[in-house]
Amino acid sequence: MLTPGTYNIVALLDGRTVGMACGLPGDSGACELRSVWVSPRARGRSIGDRLYAAGGRQALASKGPGGAVCKLTDAQLAVLEAELEAGPAAYGWQDQCWTLSRIAEVVKARFGVSYTLGGMCYLLHRLGWSWQAPARRAAERDEAAIAGWRDEQWPVIKGPRPSWEPGCASKTRPVKA
């Protein structure tokens, strides 16, 4: 079934179909090229170029960037950035970690717009924010106590190294003496 106004161009070589281009009418009278197919045995013979020329340059004219439009205005994005700078404590969270779900809650409460976690991550990257991994060491870390434990307790826990006696490594089949 054909949509009214569509065009389909078929390329023939020695009576066989070797290529096809399909297009739709555009808003400004230009055609929008939707698909081009060239048979593998006809590739390298400029069939695609000829189909493109038949559809015209307007068939490949850009319609602008793809993707969804941002749900927040530029002014709302500026307000969101200022609120993120204030930190999570301004919203009652005890630790100083922004998570995607927390930011999504703030956006929902402040602007009435809901985002998925993936959408929130994308939005934050657009604003120049990136995730930050906290340092792996606690502020209360006592290096002297750790060194003492490593020298005294760890060898006891680990036990002596096994000897190099001949035998089997299986725990269920011990060495016969």
- Report d(CA 26, CA 154) in Å as an integer: 74
For Cα atoms 23, 25, 27, give the angle at the middle one, nearest 5 degrees: 140
| Confidence grade of residue 163 (pLDDT, cut at 50, 70, 90) | low
Helices (H), 41-164: 47-55, 74-86, 100-111, 117-126, 143-158
Q: Each residue of 79-137: pLDDT tens digit?
A: 999 999 998 888 888 888 889 999 999 999 999 999 999 999 999 998 888 877 766 77
Determine the pLDDT at residue 96.
80
Angle, helices 117-126 vs 100-111, to 10°: value is 90
Determine the pLDDT at residue 174.
67
Taking the CA atoms of residue 43, residue 14, residue 37 and residue 25 in that order, the dihedral angle to the nearest 10 degrees is 130
- Report d(CA 21, CA 8) in Å as an integer: 6
Query: Does the pLDDT value for residue 57 go beyond 60?
Result: no
